């Protein structure tokens, strides 16, 4: 029997985790791509996307949000000739673009570059009209509206 792999959806969406938690029973595997990243829940309505961007400076990176899509881009600024001959290059410095679909009402709160990691903080801000509210229950006799008096 085949099972559906929801791991790619987990990796590229933020704020849909409750839906995916229900569907997570169907299994999945983890594929990797450049650059590596983490998505973590830091609170009930807060999230953090961390992207490993070793070798990139603030000027080489851009973070953009448009129509519920978070886009993180990195492109090394072209510098002159290297100081010496490169014998081995294991640190990737290629350009990248990583997109994440954001759930409704998820807002980007900020981005910080620290120790080769780009942290993007997100928060789900549900409008008051959309939040659940308690309806008070009272005791007493039900009020019957007379149709003749109401007309």
Instruction: Let me know if domain 7-78+87-129 sits in CATH 3.40.250.10.
Output: no
Strands 37-41 and 13-14: unpaired
Strands 96-102 and 37-41: unpaired
User: Using only C-alpha atoms, what is the Rg of the chain?
Assistant: 24
**What's the pLDDT tens digit per position in 9-58?**
666 666 665 555 544 433 443 444 788 999 999 998 899 999 999 889 99
Q: What is the mean pLDDT of the chain?
A: 79
The answer to whether residues 106 and 120 touch, using CB atoms and an 8 Å cutoff, is no
Closest CA to 107 of 53, 58, 52, 66: 66
**What's the pLDDT tens digit per position in 71-126?**
999 998 776 566 678 788 787 778 899 999 888 889 999 999 999 999 999 999 88
pTM confidence score: 0.63
Q: Say how far residue 79 (Cα) sits from the centre of its chain.
A: 33
Q: Which two tokens mark 49?
A: 């996307």
Question: What is the domain partition of the chain in residue ranges?
Answer: 7-78+87-129
């Amino acid at each position: 029997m085949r099972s559906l792999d929801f791991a790619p959806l987990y990796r590229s969406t933020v704020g849909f985790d409750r839906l995916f938690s229900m569907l997570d029973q169907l299994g999945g595997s983890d594929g990797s791509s450049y650059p590596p990243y983490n998505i973590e829940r830091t609170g009930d309505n807060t999230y953090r996307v961390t992207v490993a961007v070793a070798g990139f400076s603030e000027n080489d990176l851009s973070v953009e949000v448009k129509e519920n899509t978070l886009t993180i881009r990195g492109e090394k600024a072209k510098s002159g000739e290297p100081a010496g001959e490169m014998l081995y290059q294991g640190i990737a410095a290629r350009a990248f673009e990583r997109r994440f679909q954001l759930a409704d009402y998820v807002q980007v709160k900020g981005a910080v570059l620290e120790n080769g990691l780009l942290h993007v903080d997100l928060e789900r801000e549900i409008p008051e009209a959309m939040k659940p509210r308690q309806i008070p229950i009272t005791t007493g006799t039900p009020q019957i509206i007379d149709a003749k008096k109401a007309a």
